Amino acid sequence: MTDQAYNFAYLDEQTKRMIRRAILKGIAVPGYQVPFASREMPMPYGWGTGGVQVTAACLVPEDLLKVIDQGADDTTNAVSIRKFFQRTAGVATTEATAEATVIQTRHRIPEVPLTEGQILVYQVPIPEPLRFLEPRETETRKMHELEEYGLMHVKLYEDIARHGEIATSYAYPVKVEGRYVMDPSPIPKFDNPKLGQSPAIQLFGAGREQRIYALPPYSDVVSLDFDDHPFQASKAPHDCDLCGAKDSYLDEVITDDAGGRMFVCSDTDFCAGRRAEGHVGRLGEPV
Amino acid sequence: MTATISGDTLSGGFTEAPMQSARAFREILEVLARPGLIRTVTGAAPPAPLSIAAGVALLTLTDPTTPLHLAGAADCQPVRDWVAFHIGAPLVAAEEADFALGTWDALQPVARFRIGQPDYPDRSATLIVELDRLTNHGPALSGPGIALSTWLSLPETAAFRANRALFPLGYDCLFTCGDRLAGLPRSTRVENI
């Protein structure tokens, strides 16, 4: 039941129209960061105010909403945003990736492949991929305008010169449709290959930085690399200790003060689904 | 209440704006994100000659902050009154418009619409183009949002090819026909077959 003190999905209609127009321009120019008049939300910056505004502008009453934080459905950020939309939009929620129609995510792409009809909304802290290389907005805007991305390649080259490999492991920059270099938000680079040619619509919202950008379905998204140092999607070289999955992204969990540790799927729905199917990892117990 | 305001002016808007505009936006988002896709929308009853879909698009996307250009037959008193009452968008010349509405012929020459600036390509017009027929037969489309290729009954190809050549600048189009609509963002490549 929607709390009657709020408009549907919290934001007023004028604000939603403004956000919707920004989303459509973002779809029309994939990877370009569209400025929008981000509103104050009833949560602090850094808690997904951008993603929440994009989700609020997209939700319909019939939606089935899933919210994840680093892959998990049951962490503070995910639970509070899910409750926020349960209360202000009255939408049904789920933890099952395959059932959800709108998925708001903080820093992961679900392991289960997305499908047409789904929308993935990313929470973005710093949308400008060049920001740590060039702090001036006037300059980064000019660099995007002129497609001048040499500085990013210098940064990746210096990684190789210093570490012998590209050390960037998350928020790994991508080039969209051969034009704009884009920050895919701080997802692990393990998830980068899922950005391109996805059947789902992917929307990115940065509340504090007041930017929205988008990837339409089936977009070309290329992780930046060099011919002699090709991009590699890396993960911890282990299997999940609960479900035994060999191909999922893992969190490392310290279990005692004597060096004990375990590796578990970061995607809790994926891991729980596998365990329900009878898969058991090194430390797991049959369900 | 003056005698010049007719009942048609006051009716035909969303009766439940938050829900109806949310559902309409999702369809608009889907068709613009997947060029070639044709979807149905409901909720608006604008005065002639506007189609239901064109009315829904206006109610969902435009407001007092978005200058609107009405072209050709759409630029008539009943439509102007309806826009004034339900939307409040300022009516402007084509060169200043964020949104433009009319048939393809009425919108000519389309080169006059805003295509954005090199540093702000989002500051461009969105054209709502009324078509007599909207089907998946016609020029081939490819690009972002399209898995392989698809087809759409575009009014022509040359203008859309010229628009694509401006990328990342350019205008974006919504095509409306009755209660159905389709989208063509500037990123789509159009080929005659």
pLDDT single digits (tens) A97-133: 999 999 999 999 999 999 999 999 999 999 999 999 9
Mean pLDDT, range B90-117, rounded to an integer? 97
Query: Which of A3, A10, A11, A17 is most worth mutating to test chain B (most B CB atoms within 10 A of its CB)?
Result: A17
Query: What's the burial of A46, exposed, middle or buried (CB within 10 Å: 0-12/13-18/19+)?
Result: exposed
For residue A15, give the H/E element and its range.
helix A13-28
pLDDT the model gives residue A285? 86
A83 Cα distance to chain centroid: 19
Tell me what pLDDT residue B7 has.
65
Among the listed residues A48, A50, A243, A273, the single catalytic one is A243
Q: How confident is the model at residue A95 (pLDDT cuts 50, 70, 90)?
A: very high
- pLDDT score at B2: 47
ipTM over 0.90: yes
Query: Residue A276: what are its φ and ψ, rounded to 5°?
Result: -65, -25
CA A211 centroid distance within chain: 15
B33-56 burial string, b = 16+ CB within 10 Å, else e? Answer: bbbbbbbebebbebbeebbbbbbb
Contacting residues of B for A214, CB less than 8 Å apart:
33
CB atoms within 10 A of CB A162: 9
Predicted pLDDT of residue A287: 76
Give strand ranges (E) for A207-273.
Answer: 211-215, 221-223, 250-254, 261-265
DSSP state of B5: -
In tens, the pLDDT along A227-246 reads: 999 999 999 999 999 999 99
Name the residue facing B119 among A25, A26, A142 (closest C-beta): A142
How far is Cα A9 from Cα A16, in angstroms, rounded to an integer?
Answer: 9
Cα distance between residue B7 and residue B12, in whole Å: 10
Q: What is the pLDDT of residue B1?
A: 44
> A13, A23, A25: best mutation site toward chain B, by most B Cβ within 10 Å?
A25
Asked whether the predicted pLDDT for residue B171 surpasses 80, the reply is yes
Closest CA to A122 of A259, A16, A23: A23
Query: Which two structure tokens, joined as six digits, stand for A184?
Result: 């895919």
Categorize the per-residue pLDDT at B5 as very low, low, confident or very high, splitting at 50, 70 and 90: low
Residue B9, phi-psi category: left (phi > 0), alpha (psi -120 to 50), beta (remainder): alpha
Choose among A219, A264, A267, A265: nearest CA to A113.
A267
Mutation target vs A (from B16, B23, B26; most A CBs, 10 A cutoff)? B26
User: What pLDDT, on a 0 to 100 scale, did the predictor assign at position B75?
Assistant: 96
Predicted pLDDT of residue A3? 56
How much is the pLDDT for A4? 66
CB contact under 8 A, A30 and B32: no
pLDDT digits (tens, 9 = 90+) for B20-70: 999 999 999 999 999 999 999 999 999 999 999 999 999 999 999 999 999
Crossing angle for the helix pair B17-33 and A49-58, nearest 10 degrees? 100
Q: Which fold has domain B41-191?
A: Rossmann fold (3.40.50)
Mean pLDDT of A278-282: 94
Tokens of A171: 């928020």
Residue A21 phi/psi, 5-degree rounding, is -65, -40
Residues B144, A177: C-beta atoms closer than 8 Å:
yes
Rounded to whole angstroms, how far apart are CA atoms A129 and A112? 27
Check B29 against A24: CB less than 8 A apart.
Answer: yes
Give the pLDDT confidence score for residue B193 in this predicted structure.
79
* Domain spans, chain B: 41-191
Considering chain B, what is the average pLDDT of its residues? 95
Say yes or no for a CB contact (<8 Å) between B146 and A218: yes
Question: What integer is the mean pLDDT of A161-171?
Answer: 93
- Model pTM score: 0.96
Mean pLDDT computed over A41-57:
94
**pLDDT confidence of residue B3:** 47
- State the pLDDT at residue A5: 79
CB contact A180 to B (< 8 Å): yes
pLDDT tens by residue, B57-72 = 999 999 999 999 999 9
* Tokens found for residue B105: 């012929």
> Of residues A71, A265, A273, A281, which has the active-site annotation?
A265
Q: What per-residue confidence (pLDDT) applies to B4?
A: 57
Burial B72-83 (b: 16+ CB within 10 A, else e): bebeeeebbbbb
Q: Among this protein's residues, is A31 annotated catalytic?
A: yes
